[in-house]
Chain A
Amino acid sequence: MRKLETSYVAALELLGRGQRQEALEALMELEMEALGSTPSASRIDRVWKHKLDVVRRALELTGPEILVPVIMLHHDAYQLYRNANQPILARHARDMASDLATYKAQTTKSDADKEFAGWVMTSFGASVLTLRTAGTSAGILRDALELSPNNPVALLGLAWAHEVHGEYLDATELLSRLVASDPSHAHGRLRLAVCERRLGNLESAKANFMKVLAQDSEPWIRSIARQELARLLISLKDLEGAEREARAAVEEFPEDQEAAILLASLCERLGRVSNADEIISGIGASAPGQPSARYIYDRQPDLDIESVRVTLHSMMDERLGVLISGLRWWGVGTEGQEGEEG
């Protein structure tokens, strides 16, 4: 295991010198060699312990900021392991990054560190946020929210995971927090209104649909807001009002088939059959590659996690010098970091 420590230090040194890709390759090579594809729990524990020994010594020489690049190295390895279909190693990378981030937040008790840890875990949660893995994702996002309660991406992602399981009350609680901390979050407010409608909280749902429509947002969000407001009015037997909303959707988005079908159906129910016929005759095949608004709504939300990851990496880059300093116990950087980089 002495060799493992040496290899781990070498990987961290590569990272510290700005060679991120090489550092990742070195880390993965040493972990694959030490663990294989299906390692036992005890073997993982031993590897974990040896890596932590390195981190602890580096931490003693510098301070908690050294953890940021270490966390990000394992964060990045997680995605690569997933791509390489190595679930156990991916899980190990995720656990190591999450535990170190949590440790840092709990040690410093600073809001910035809590937020950082929240984003690291949100990044993991967003990576596995699909219909099939909604349960796993929900667990990670819940941990993220423990550290960073108003993380908008974690709130939206976890709300979606609840929504897809029909847990509208839980989703509503999270989405209410989201729009309370960011009243301009149209996507979050739309989902809040949809969940409220399902729970029968129609007045609040209606108010939230109206608020979504009062601001600029993506076309699919506006279309769903109009469609669902129309559906809400149908449930209140206000077919005329529903028809107005559906017509507004068709006028705003003439290519939107869902809105057109809803409008035709309402016209027919109101006895305006020739209007319905006219609308139906205008419905043609959709443009290729253009998903409908309702399909976009149903898929896992686009959490815009890439921009978050860019921020996390820039935080890492700012602390590479600290990392090199922390590795001096192993003789790294004693020859002068600036000289080598130059």
Chain B
Amino acid sequence: MRAAILALSLMVCSGAAWGSDLDVWIDYPIGDEFVHGTVQIVVAVSGAKADQATVEFVIDGETLGTMIRRPFTINADVGNENVEHEFEVIARAPGGITARTSVRTPKLHVDDQLKLTLQQVYVTVGGSGGRVLDLERDDFRVVEEGKDQKIVTFERGDVPLTSVLLLDCSLSMTGEPLQAALEGASMFLEGMTDLDETMLMLYSDQLLRASDFNGDPSTLKETLSEVDASGGTAINDHLYLALKKLDARQGRSVVVLFSDGTDVHSVLEMAEVAQKVRRSQAMIYWIYLRLRPGESVDKVPSYMATWRDMESSQNEFRKLREAVNESGGRVQVVDHLEELDDAFVGIMSELREQYVIGYYPTDQSKDGSWREVKVRVKRSGAKVQAREGYTAYP
């Protein structure tokens, strides 16, 4: 996915292969990169007959399906085995015109992995007048464990994303809060673009309802209909579940967590989930519906429950907040229900205005250690929001 974006932008710049009646090529996956899990296959078609073309997708000799109109992009689960895969596409246009191409992705070798691990950092830059959108590659500096890193890829603007929208539907959300949250979520879905995909998870003390990853907002909105608030709150468990679901996806991944409190019922401690956050590439945004206007944003709530005494409930809250910030996302505190729409839309807008910076870490060892990453910009007064590091996971 990340490579697809780069490839797409290069294609536009170079204006490759325009001329014949029908040309087809695979923008992603690319031939030298190992793929696993769900892979987004991005195909471009050009030529005089391109507007009338259909595209058949074949993976490892099996036909996956045929798309009859743009965008010729499809998701396919190729499994998690370390094996080669062959991706073939056949474009057909009226008059028997056919064009085909294929890409073979390699299996992963440990040595290759060491050489090829590209770290990507998603960066939001704010300033006094809103987000700063005119920075160039040379305006950024990436420092990992105190050492400057060479930026090898740089993107700005609208990079497709895969998100999980985690919505708290516990009993305390009964009535207007739940309706407001569902409306906000609906507006988030409206902000999706063609290559985005979202999974909805409606949770309380357990998963009440879930969709698959889907790029169609109207299909996703069906999951939001006729939901009743019930049960307790298990944020940790469902955040872990969301991060696991995103593990199998490639590209920019985001969890948008909505809740009106902190965890009460999870079997997992937040400290355990925080470890998962560090291993994951996903950014986490937490919309925290507090409904206590005027109270300090830093005030930590506490709840009485058999599973969490006051101290541990406050600890869970703090650790969640830390994990969110460390992931490169942020906590959005909402004190009034009417602010919820703006909170959801604001996050989508922020995601549309991020810089994507890639670098090969100078330390390529996979020793499981935490690597602190700092991103700086040459712009006075600019405020940078980015992942604070990653676990160098074998």
Contacts and interface: CB of A to CB of B under 8 A. Distances in A.
Contact of A274 (B80, B206, B231, B234): B80
Nearest to B275: A269
B206 A257 contact: yes
Contact of A298 (B241, B306, B310): B306
Contacts of A163: 306
Interface residues of A, number: 35
A258 B236 CA distance: 11
A277 interface: yes
A264 interface: yes
Interface residues of B, number: 33
B205 A294 contact: yes
Contacts of A274: 80
Given A164-B305, A276-B244, A295 B268 contact: no
B304 A165 contact: yes
Contacts of A284: 207, 210
A262 interface: yes
Contacts of A131: 304-305
B264 A298 contact: yes
B265 A294 contact: yes
Interface in A93-131: 131
Contacts of A290: 206
Nearest to A290: B206
Given A131-B304, A166-B309, A261-B237, A291 B205 contact: yes
A305 interface: no
A277 B205 contact: no
Mostly helix, strand, loop or mixed at chain B's interface? loop
A194 B267 CA distance: 13
B115 interface: no
Given A265-B240, A277-B244, A294 B210 contact: no
Interface string A250-271: 0000000111011011001100
A274 B36 CA distance: 12
B247 interface: yes
A289 B208 CA distance: 10
Nearest to A249: B267
Given A165-B309, A257-B206, 16 more contacts: A131-B304, A165-B304, A259-B267, A261-B267, A264-B240, A265-B276, A268-B244, A269-B275, A277-B80, A286-B208, A292-B231, A294-B232, A294-B265, A294-B266, A294-B267, A298-B306
Interface of A: 131, 134, 160, 163-166, 194, 227, 231, 257-259, 261-262, 264-265, 268-269, 274, 276-277, 280, 283-286, 289-292, 294-295, 297-298
The 8 closest A-B pairs by CB, nearest first: A166-B309, A295-B205, A280-B244, A258-B267, A286-B206, A292-B205, A295-B232, A292-B206
Interface of B: 80, 205-210, 230-232, 234, 237, 240-241, 244-245, 247-248, 264-268, 272, 275-276, 304-307, 309-311
20 contacts: A131-B304, A164-B305, A166-B304, A166-B311, A257-B206, A258-B234, A258-B267, A261-B237, A261-B240, A264-B244, A274-B80, A280-B245, A285-B207, A285-B210, A292-B206, A294-B267, A295-B206, A295-B231, A297-B306, A298-B305
